[in-house]
Amino acid sequence: MSQHRHPGAPGRAGAVPALPDLPEATVARLPEYLRALHALADTGHETVSSEGLANAAGVNSAKLRKDLSHLGSYGTRGVGYDVTLLIEQIESVLGLTQCRSVALVGVGNLGHALAGYDGFASRGFRIAALFDADPSRVGEEINGLVVRHVDELARVAVEESISIGVIATPAPAAQAVADQLVAVGVTSILNFAPCVLSVPEGVDVRKVDLAIELQILSFHEHRKASLTALPGGLAATDTQEAIGT
Amino acid sequence: MSQHRHPGAPGRAGAVPALPDLPEATVARLPEYLRALHALADTGHETVSSEGLANAAGVNSAKLRKDLSHLGSYGTRGVGYDVTLLIEQIESVLGLTQCRSVALVGVGNLGHALAGYDGFASRGFRIAALFDADPSRVGEEINGLVVRHVDELARVAVEESISIGVIATPAPAAQAVADQLVAVGVTSILNFAPCVLSVPEGVDVRKVDLAIELQILSFHEHRKASLTALPGGLAATDTQEAIGT
DNA sequence: AGGCGCTTGTGAAGAGGTGCACAAATCGCG
DNA sequence: CGCGATTTGTGCACCTCTTCACAAGCGCCT
Ligand SMILES: NC(=O)c1ccc[n+]([C@@H]2O[C@H](COP(=O)([O-])OP(=O)(O)OC[C@H]3O[C@@H](n4cnc5c(N)ncnc54)[C@H](O)[C@@H]3O)[C@@H](O)[C@H]2O)c1
Ligand SMILES: NC(=O)c1ccc[n+]([C@@H]2O[C@H](COP(=O)([O-])OP(=O)(O)OC[C@H]3O[C@@H](n4cnc5c(N)ncnc54)[C@H](O)[C@@H]3O)[C@@H](O)[C@H]2O)c1
């Protein structure tokens, strides 16, 4: 995405932080490895094999090794990976060494749940500010944070050095909110509103849409239903299955 | 996934519903097209070109045409696609013609928001039952639905003919809940708990993990930051960018 | 009726991701 | 010190997905 490839010239090799230029699919899996690694660290494991970690993360072990190989050789053959070292490396690559400040816009039904969620802080994200357009919500305190009016976004964003914006407003307001976020310099947006956002180049948008997830499940349900009409056996094998994200 | 390919023998051609066997990437995009189509229908459009629909859905028009071609030829050359016809076709393929019943397990912070969300019903999903393990929550009424104890799952699942289960419990409880859902015959699960679920073959699991989304954004933020240290211009082009799901 | 412009549907090429299989590397032990 | 057990890192083949480019098809206008 917006990334030019120069096959012959690997983006100024030999620089200080190396900038590995990871495949997107790998980036999407690193957080899963990280979670599994934290769980292993908590249970006292010092090293883990690719097989063990792959199991814990629910992926193929070859895939895991290839993913990790992209960020350098941090494993020991015959032994495995040092859990704490690998955690450090992945967190470094993901840019989690610095705590990132998040602004949440739209403190409604969903916004409340997000604001009260402790899973952000534990992963190195700090919800730094809450915004809403509804005057009756402004001033409300949630989890130690006061809801501010969205007009204050510009000022607060700078004060709190916001780096990620989360949109939890109704869909019709989402584009306007995105524009405001972009205007104050936010270049990463997580969008919960069911709509496509148009943003300038250089701004990353990821979306979470529950209805889409359910519809995908519905399709597979539908397919399974039309399949059970004819095939041989419904022998209950115990192989496990998952769907790629 | 768990789907055998016989290149020479296209899965008993000539059957009644045809069962198009769509690429997974296409299935994931159909709901987006559907949303865009509904928006177009609401604004009075009767037909739409691949270019127009692709724009509304935020994808490449060639990709959209290929996606739609997988479910048959429902466009008219020189004109475009009939909006209502296409809606019907996509809904039919996704299995949305019948309303699917959803069971939500774990009515906490996030569960409350989900239970009160009206975006499900409008997409053909019905939240048919709410469950929690906490006795103090059982009996509570949310959006016209009473929270039941999770032990009643087996009975209620059959009564309400549940086809999709949503897990919004803390991570340590998620696997047990998944097992219970599978035990009562649920073959599609949407998991919000940050953990991997192990399920038998034939059961589909999709997960939504906000921390992962934020970490992916963090990576790109990190990359952009290390990039701005050296390159030529930050010329504000107005091309828009999105990240694949 | 015929031509013209527009749009679909698709072949083909390329890019990216996956998983196997194995050589290379490391550790522990005799 | 050497050997075998173990595990990483990766070359390779395969597969899926994306994107381009264009012929075929359709409607409209003259
Ligand atoms: N609730 C859910 O479980 C759920 C699930 C999936 C998706 N969503 C989506 O998330 C979004 C929020 O859902 P919700 O249930 O919380 O809706 P909600 O109506 O409860 O909350 C929306 C909040 O956004 C505020 N708002 C509106 N316009 C605004 C603006 N311009 N600037 C700032 N704030 C503004 C409103 O005042 C309100 O407080 C919706 O787009 C919805 O489709 C919600
Ligand atoms: N709140 C958020 O915004 C958010 C965001 C992302 C992910 N999550 C994840 O979603 C899950 C729920 O989050 P939350 O904030 O609602 O937590 P919560 O603690 O508020 O709610 C969890 C609920 O699950 C119930 N529960 C526990 N064990 C159960 C069991 N065995 N069977 C049925 N119910 C059970 C609890 O009684 C509680 O009501 C967590 O895994 C969390 O990590 C939450």
Same domain, B11 and B64: yes
Residues A185 and A229 in one domain: no
Q: Is the CB of B216 under 7 A from strand C?
A: no
Closest residue to atom 43 of ligand 2, CA basis: B193
A151 and A176 belong to one structural domain: yes
Q: Do A194 and B242 touch (CB under 8 A)?
A: no
Q: From the CA of A4, how many Å to the C1' of D20?
A: 18
Check whether residue B131 and residue B194 sit in a common domain. yes
Residues B154-198: tens digit of each pLDDT: 999 999 999 999 999 999 999 999 999 999 999 999 999 999 999
Query: Is the Cβ atom of A66 within 7 Å of strand C at any atom?
Result: yes
Distance of CA B134 to the CA centre of its chain: 28
- Residue A21's domain is classified under what CATH number? 1.10.10.10
**One domain for residues B64 and B126:** no
Domain that holds residue A232: 211-242
Q: Which amino acid, residue B67?
A: D
B26 and B45 co-located in one domain = yes
Among A32, A59, A93, residue at a domain's last position: A93
Angstrom distance, A78 CA to C25 C1': 8
CB of A49 closer than 8 Å to CB of A62: no
B61 pLDDT above the threshold of 80: yes
3-state helix, strand, coil in chain A (%, to 5): 40, 20, 40
User: A206: nearest CA in chain B?
Assistant: B243
Q: Which 30-89 residues of chain B touch chain A by CB within 8 A? A: 30-32, 34-36, 56-58
Q: Which chain B residue's Cα is nearest to A204?
A: B242
Which 3 state secondary structure label does DSSP give A125?
strand
pLDDT in tens, chain A (245 residues): 333 333 333 333 333 455 668 999 999 999 999 999 999 999 999 999 999 999 999 999 999 999 999 999 899 999 999 999 999 999 999 999 999 999 999 999 999 999 999 888 888 999 999 999 999 999 999 999 999 999 999 999 999 999 999 999 999 999 999 999 999 999 999 999 999 999 999 999 999 999 999 999 999 999 999 877 665 544 444 444 454 44
pLDDT > 80? residue B55: yes
* From A119, A187, A237, residue closest to B221, measured CB to CB: A187
Q: Would the pTM count as exceeding 0.85?
A: yes
Q: Residues 197..226 of B with a Cβ closer than 8 Å to A: which? A: 197-226
> What domain count does chain B have?
3
| Residues B136 and B89 grouped into a single domain | no
Q: Which of A93, A120, A140 represents a domain boundary (last residue)?
A: A93
In short, whether B169's Cβ falls inside 6 Å of ligand 2 is yes
Q: Which of A112, A114, A117 to mutate to test the pocket of ligand 2 (most atoms within 8 A of CB)?
A: A117
Distance CA A215, CA B163 (A): 12
Same domain, A72 and A104: no
- CATH number, domain of B130, equals 3.40.50.720
Q: Is the CB of B114 under 6 A from ligand 1?
A: yes
Task: Judge if A173 and A86 occupy the same domain.
Answer: no
**Cα–Cα distance measured from residue A154 to residue B190, given in angstroms and rounded to the nearest whole number:** 36
B224, B158: one domain:
no
Average pLDDT, chain B: 88
Q: Which B residues, 165 through 184, put their C-beta within 8 Å of a C-beta on chain A?
A: none
Which of A59, A93, A127 delimits the end of a domain? A93
Residue B165 main-chain phi, psi, to 5 deg:
-115, 135
Query: Whose structure tokens read 């814990």?
Result: A56
Do residue A189 and residue A229 come from a single domain? no
Q: Report the alpha-carbon distance of residue B57 to residue B53 in Å, rounded.
A: 6
Considering the domain architecture, whether residues B195 and B174 belong to the same structural domain is answered as yes
